[in-house]
A and B are shown apart, each in its own frame.
Chain A
Amino acid sequence: MILLEVNGLKKAFGSRKAVNGASFTVRRGEVFGLLGPNGAGKSTTISLICGVLKANAGSVVVDGFSVGTDGANAKKRIGIVPQEPALYPTLSARANLRFWGTINDVPADELEEAVNYVLQVVGLVDRADEKIAKFSGGMKRRLNIAAGLIHSPKLLIMDEPTVGIDPQSRNHILETVKNLKDKDITVIYTSHYVEEVEYLCDRVAVMDNGEIIAEGTLPELLEQGSQFQELTISVDTIPDEIENAIQALPHAEEVIVQNEQLKLVTSNAEKLLPSAFAAIIGLGGTVSEIKIHKPNLESLFLKLTGKALRD
């Protein structure tokens, strides 16, 4: 059963096409990953889905309600966790949640209960009455999630909820998302971290340059990328011409040079590795480490776009 249908969505800022014909569907009860590098158009897509920005073209339908023509009904079903915590720093956690509950139409007589419930979901019950200006980055991000859940939305859209926080808070957030499944909440999880998406998501859309370049279940996508392997070769002082030299070798699908490392996508590691090795040595490089990765979303992305997800 489909909960969200995005079709041919377009949004330009001046001449910059931030979202350029994106289409995907999210099914009820799943954790749906929206994976893409910085600038891919993920946040813009989210703003279009929840009606904060108006699309230039395309449609968004949430639970049967079109965001364009029946915004109020569509918006009621969506909870949003913005990329940067959107909260009032001089207020307490509880006061923030009461405010967002009221703004999201939680009835007055259910507000306290709703606030206590979401505080418990994100594990902030004992810090509820402190001003959030004193909170750590991780705690603010958890409260940011609580604010998105306050009106019991059917669809929670999370925009890179773990960027720039400590590992402990990150794990806490990942476990919170896992647990949302049992609460019958569908989640869109936006990230540029492959590991998180692989760990959490049932289905994934891969986004680049405002377009969805692949969509499917995790096994389907890994299957699509399975004829490819990713190699990482660490080289001391990378020779300038190395990228072209390796690109010219048989079985080299993609080559990128990134912080003293060569990342290669290949259809045949056994054949490419010796010739790549020879090419590096021939150009005066010294290899310090070689890794062969099993197929993952990173290698699929590299293959599809010729770019790394992260820089």
Chain B
Amino acid sequence: MRKTWAIVMVGVRQVLADPAYLMFLVGLPVMMTWMMSFLPVEVYEMAILGVLVMFVGLNVITSAGGYILGEKQTGTWQRMLASTTTYWHIMAGYFIRLFVMATAQSLILLLSGKYLFGAPWDHGFLATIVVLMVYIFAMTGLALFLAGFLKSQEQVQAVAMGVVMVGTMLGGIFFQIDDPSFVIKLIATVSPQSWAANALRDVLTLGVGVSSLLTPMLWMTAIGTILLIGGVMKLQTEG
């Protein structure tokens, strides 16, 4: 636990020392949220949630791949493995770090959406937190799973774009797709982005309670857990 915590803290300190990364993490999505606020109000609130789930997804996947590849390049990854530290310690450290960062990012976006840019949300904040946690958990699992397979920063960028853009755009968040084909319907059903944006809207504007979202949340959590364990097992076969 001490080791995992040390890995988390080193990671957080690195993020805070990197202004460009903070810009990508917070500055860019806040700007996008602001731009969305000029849209007509019927599409605005969904668009703003779309921005949130999209940037959280991008952040988590690029960060996970970026950290692991970066540490492999500087050799700190190998140095950790030369100690008694296991993949479980390391991945737990990354997991917590990603989770904390994505949570901070989401809260900044939600609060700025409501208080700076006037999103019409006035209930369900607790349920919002629960949905967000589940979404972030699933995406972090996916991100760490993918990170084990990626060999370069370019691959990380491409996969992050691919997974998140397909999930967000074809998931019908920013625009309704008329007469969707089977593939598009499938994507909208399995995409965590699509699920999270819709669930957040239901919670924030319709005041839907957590209990009616229980089944999809359990699914998301299960997928996140399986991917996380799969990710560690993939790394263990390296070398």
On A, residues with C-beta under 8 Å from B are 47, 50-54, 71-72, 75-76, 78, 80, 82-88, 90-91, 95, 98-100, 102-105, 108, 147, 151
Contacts from B to A (Cβ < 8 Å):
2-3, 6-7, 10, 13-14, 17-18, 74-76, 78-85, 239
Q: Which residues of A contact B18 (CB under 8 A)?
A: 90
Shortest beta-carbon distance from A54 to chain B in Å: 5
The answer to whether residues A47 and B78 also contact, given A52-B239, A76-B84, A103-B83 and a CB cut-off of 8 A, is yes
Check A82–B84 contact: CB distance below 8 A.
no
Closest residue of chain A to B89, judged by CB?
A103
B84: chain A residues at CB < 8 Å are 71-72, 75-76, 104-105
Asked whether, in the complex, the Cβ of A80 is within 8 Å of the Cβ of B82, the reply is yes
Q: Nearest residue in B to A131 (C-beta to C-beta)?
A: B17
Q: Which residues of B contact A91 (CB under 8 A)?
A: 10, 13-14
**Chain B contacts for A54, CB-based, 8 A:** 239
Q: A52-B82, A102-B2, A103-B3 are in contact. List 16 more A-B contacts (CB 8 A).
A: A47-B239, A52-B239, A53-B239, A76-B84, A84-B74, A88-B14, A90-B14, A90-B17, A95-B10, A95-B13, A98-B6, A100-B79, A100-B83, A102-B3, A104-B83, A147-B79
A80 with B13, Cβ < 8 A, contacts A52-B239, A53-B239, A102-B2 known:
no
B10 touches A88 (CB 8 A): yes
Asked whether, in the complex, the Cβ of B83 is within 8 Å of the Cβ of A105, the reply is yes
Knowing A82-B75, A86-B76, the reply to whether A99 touches B6 (Cβ < 8 A) is yes
Q: Which 7 A-B pairs have the closest CB atoms?
A: A86-B75, A90-B17, A50-B82, A102-B6, A86-B79, A53-B239, A104-B83
Partner of A52, one of B3, B74, B78: B78
Question: CB-nearest residue of chain A relative to B80?
Answer: A103
Q: Please tell me which one of the listed residues B14, B17, B75, B85 contacts residue A103 in the complex, with CB atoms under 8 A apart.
A: B85
Residue of A nearest to B76 (CB): A86
A303 to B: closest C-beta gap in Å: 35
A102 to B85, CA, bound (A): 10
Q: Is the Cβ of B14 less than 8 Å from the Cβ of A87?
A: no
Complexed CA–CA distance, A87 and B76 (Å) = 6
In the assembled complex, the CB of A27 is this many whole angstroms from the nearest CB of chain B, namely 22
Contacts of A105 in B (CB 8 A): 83-84
Please, how many angstroms separate the alpha-carbon atoms of A47 and B79 in the complex? 10
Contacts of A50 in B (CB 8 A): 82
Q: Give the nearest-CB partner of A81 in chain B.
A: B79
Q: Is the CB of B83 within 8 A of A75?
A: yes
> What residues of B have a CB within 8 angstroms of the CB of A76 in the complex?
84
- A99, B74: Cα distance in complex, Å: 15
For the complex, what is the distance from the CA of A53 to the CA of B72, rounded to whole Å? Answer: 13
- Docked Cα-Cα span, A47 to B78, in Å, equals 8
In angstroms, Cα B14 to Cα A37, docked, is: 36
Q: List 6 A-B contacts (CB under 8 A).
A: A47-B239, A52-B239, A80-B82, A100-B79, A100-B83, A103-B7
The answer on a CB contact under 8 Å between A88 and B81 is no
Chain B residues positioned under 8 Å from A147 (CB to CB): 79
Q: Tell me whether B82 and A78 are in contact (CB under 8 A).
A: yes
Nearest Cβ distance between residue A224 and chain B, in whole angstroms?
33
Contacts of A90 in B (CB 8 A): 13-14, 17-18
Find A82's partner among B13, B78, B83 (CB 8 Å cutoff): B78
Q: Which residue of B lies closest to A157 (CB)?
A: B82
